[in-house]
Amino acid sequence: MDNLLQLKRTEINIGLKKEYKLFQISDAHMACLDDESSQIDINDNKRFHAQWDTLKADFAKEANEFCDKRYDVEPNMLFEHLTKHALDFGADALILSGDMFDRVSESNIRYMKRFLESYPIPVIYCPGNHESISENGEHVNQYERLVNVINEPSANSVDFGEFEIVTIDNGTKKITDSQISYLENKFETNKKILLVVHAPLNLGEFGSRMIKEKSPYFLLGVKGDSENCFRLNRLVMENSRKIIAVLAGHVHCFYEGAIDECLNQYTTSSALIGAGREIIIK
């Protein structure tokens, strides 16, 4: 299984006193089963395979990434190999940038809770749009269930001394005033921030290229989005020198580009094809 991992390495030199290693996983879309799984969970698992075995190959083909029948396994198997690699890499923290679940079910929550309780390094988990899909298929806020596995799903931070990792849930594009205020307060501390979101931000050369090469659907801050989506993007632009990088997922491909002359945005491809990003900040 390890030879199926598709890894990218990103090194960012901002003159820190020490080197930090992080490992990013995105879009695992797990549909886990256990002895307590309901019939809904079982049906969800069947639906998952019927849908994603085709979709992940289509995403990979479009992005010129590798995918064949060897990836037609339960997605938690690839997730577990990626999380093991994070430890082998010597990561100081694991970053999960959304869509770890295909939808929010009790068996998925139990699986992730067990994983987090046993994993030996910090895990920073930013929700995606699929963390808002419930067992009955409704696309609604699931924070009251996610608190069992995500500390403060809407907006959160982890302090690494020389910098902070800050997560903002933008998966459903329902950016709130409180999320804007949270990020504003973080920028006021003047500590460097590594910003983690699920949907990439439509900013600069990165956004222009992605609209041209992919689709506006995947980006935050496009026609039809709320004013708060654009407020969030403006806030990032205004404070770009305080941001180490923006990490995202959602697009199921490795992608990177400039937001401005001092800030890059990176997306990590899907764990469904064994993808992960090694990040070194120094």
Q: In what order do the strands lie in the sheet with 192-196?
A: 155-159, 163-168, 192-196, 243-248, 263-267, 255-260
pLDDT of residue 250: 97
215 phi-psi bin (left φ>0, alpha ψ -120 to 50, beta other): beta
How many distinct structural domains can be found in the chain? 1
Q: What is the DSSP letter of 149?
A: T
In this predicted structure, the answer to whether residue 49 has a pLDDT above a threshold of 80 is no
pTM: 0.96
Nearest in space to 179 (alpha carbons), one of 142, 233, 140, 222: 233
Residue-wise pLDDT tens digits, 150-198: 989 999 999 999 999 999 999 999 999 999 999 999 999 989 999 999 9
pLDDT of residue 1: 63
- DSSP string over 181-237: HHHHHHHHTT-EEEEE-SSPB--HHHHHHHHHHS-GGGSBS-TT--HHHHHHHHHHH
- Check which CATH number belongs to the domain holding 62 and give it: 3.60.21.10
**Angstrom distance (rounded) from CA 206 to CA 265:** 7
In this predicted structure, the answer to whether residue 209 has a pLDDT above a threshold of 70 is yes
Please give the average per-residue pLDDT across 34-56, as a whole number: 84
- For residue 78, how many C-alpha atoms fall within 13 Å in the half-sphere facing its CB? 28
pLDDT of residue 136: 81
Residues 6+ apart with CB under 8 A from 77: 1
**Residue 197 is part of which domain span?**
2-281
Mean pLDDT score across all residues of the chain = 94
Residue-wise pLDDT tens digits, 90-130: 999 999 999 999 999 999 999 999 999 999 999 999 999 99
